[in-house]
């Protein structure tokens, strides 16, 4: 599943083609994706102008002149192809496996500026919905969702407030979308490594007895922003099914310092440690046992 930087990369690629344009023709080729399309989906879209294209966590949000918001989630394999003036901005060489199969082109948006935006999703784990802008924060998709990690709210103080008293492993707390929305497995591993925090450390250890942020809490907030910003700038990790909206591959995967490097030497200068993989809640965690000191009394479980 794409993480926040991948979704932000797609948003930036779609924005020039969609914002300010009117949806002149919408083709819906099936009744559902992961969930059924909303009632009168095509009718509610056609004729509307896309006034803004935003992102909330891992969701794309297209504001419409009708006052509704088109919510789009990529699922595991969803992608967009932008075509204009007979040219596609997704190179032919990226049309491998399912990516370029017309059978998986489920929604086609025709725009007043001559562009065509096609949503392709082989596994159909993505979905689209329409929600009034006034109800966006209380709708089923976002009700109870945590703060944005790239927003102004993320700080050491916020982390301390959210994590105070929690014995939950730090990595699990960071992945809890009710606390911080949009963080995924890859970038949490990278942020913890850069901060020197063990993934099994109690989340509450980032708050003092009085609930104030520790030095590591302040550092972690900055590192999370740094890692995500670097990934967005590089075009996301583009693992497996995902590429930038123009089809080119991002390069942040070449900058992973710890993720997916099990058995590799730690990249920290002077460190002689070896990257270890352990399983947390069924997901792989990568860390350096020397740079990221184990919390006292933790029960580490190596992945088999």
74-100: b (≥16 Cβ within 10 Å) or e: bbbbbbbbbbeeeebbbeeebeeeebb
Residue 104 among known ligand-binding residues:
yes
User: Which of 85, 100, 53, 105 shows the shortest CA–CA distance to 243?
Assistant: 100
Q: Report the pLDDT averaged over residues 13-40.
A: 96
What was the pLDDT predicted at 127?
97
Q: For the purposes of burial, counting CB atoms within 10 Å of the CB of 134, is it exposed (0-12), middle (13-18) or buried (19 or more)? A: exposed
Alpha carbons 27 and 23: distance in angstroms, whole number:
11
What is the sign of the dihedral through the CA atoms of 107, 184, 52 and 232? negative
pLDDT bin (cut points 50, 70, 90) of residue 255 is: confident
Q: What are the domain boundaries of the chain?
A: 4-135, 156-287
Q: What is the pLDDT of residues 197-207, one digit of tens each?
A: 999 999 999 99
Q: Is the pLDDT of residue 85 over 80?
A: no
Q: For residue 149, what are its two tokens?
A: 């990690």
Strand, coil or helix: 261? coil
What was the pLDDT predicted at 242?
52
Q: Report the pLDDT averaged over residues 112-120.
A: 94
CB 148 within 8 A of CB 154: yes
Residue 25 among known ligand-binding residues:
no
User: Which of 128, 117, 113, 69 shows the shortest CA–CA distance to 90?
Assistant: 117
Strand, coil or helix: 128? strand
Residue 87 among known ligand-binding residues:
no
Mention every residue, 6+ apart, whose C-beta is less than 8 A from residue 126.
Answer: 33, 34, 72, 73, 74, 75, 76, 77, 78, 119
Alpha carbons 143 and 152: distance in angstroms, whole number:
19
What was the pLDDT predicted at 244?
61
Mention every residue, 6+ apart, whose C-beta is less than 8 A from residue 199.
Answer: 169, 170, 171, 189, 192, 278, 280, 285, 287, 292
Per-residue CA distances from 181 to 4, 56, 69, 178, 184 (Å): 9, 8, 19, 7, 9
Q: Classify 156-287 by CATH class.
A: mainly alpha
Mind telling me the catalytic residues? 2-3, 58, 283
Q: What is the pLDDT of residues 45-56, one digit of tens each?
A: 999 999 999 999
The hierarchical CATH code for the domain 4-135 is 3.20.190.10
Backbone torsions φ then ψ of 194, nearest 5 degrees: -65, -25
Q: What is the pLDDT of residues 88-103, one digit of tens each?
A: 554 222 233 334 458 8
Q: For the purposes of burial, counting CB atoms within 10 Å of the CB of 189, is it exposed (0-12), middle (13-18) or buried (19 or more)? A: buried
């Amino acid at each position: 599943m794409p993480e926040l930087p991948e979704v932000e990369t797609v948003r930036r690629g779609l924005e020039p083609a969609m914002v300010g344009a009117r949806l002149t023709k919408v083709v819906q080729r099936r009744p559902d994706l992961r969930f059924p399309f909303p009632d009168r989906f095509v009718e509610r879209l056609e004729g509307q102008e896309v006034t803004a294209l935003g992102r909330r966590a891992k969701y794309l949000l297209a504001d419409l002149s009708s006052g509704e918001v088109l919510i789009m989630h990529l699922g595991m394999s969803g992608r967009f192809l932008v075509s204009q003036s007979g040219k596609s901005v997704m190179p032919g060489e990226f049309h491998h496996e399912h990516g370029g199969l017309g059978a998986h082109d489920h929604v086609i948006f025709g725009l007043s500026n001559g562009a065509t935006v096609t949503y392709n999703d082989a596994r159909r784990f993505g979905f689209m919905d329409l929600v009034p802008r006034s109800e966006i924060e209380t709708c089923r998709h976002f009700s109870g969702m945590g703060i944005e990690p790239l927003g102004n709210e993320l700080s050491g103080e916020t982390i301390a407030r959210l994590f105070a008293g929690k014995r939950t492993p730090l990595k699990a707390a960071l992945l809890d979308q009710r606390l911080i929305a949009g963080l995924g497995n890859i970038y949490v591993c990278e942020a913890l490594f850069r901060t020197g925090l063990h993934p099994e450390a109690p989340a509450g250890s980032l708050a003092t007895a009085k609930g104030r942020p520790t030095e590591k809490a302040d550092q972690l907030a900055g590192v999370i922003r740094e890692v995500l910003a670097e990934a967005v700038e590089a075009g996301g990790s583009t693992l497996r099914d995902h590429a930038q909206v123009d089809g080119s591959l991002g390069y942040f995967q070449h900058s992973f310092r710890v993720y997916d490097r099990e058995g590799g030497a730690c990249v920290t200068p002077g460190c002689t440690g070896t990257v270890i993989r352990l399983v947390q809640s069924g997901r792989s965690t990568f860390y350096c046992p020397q740079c990221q000191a184990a919390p006292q009394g933790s029960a580490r479980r190596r992945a088999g």
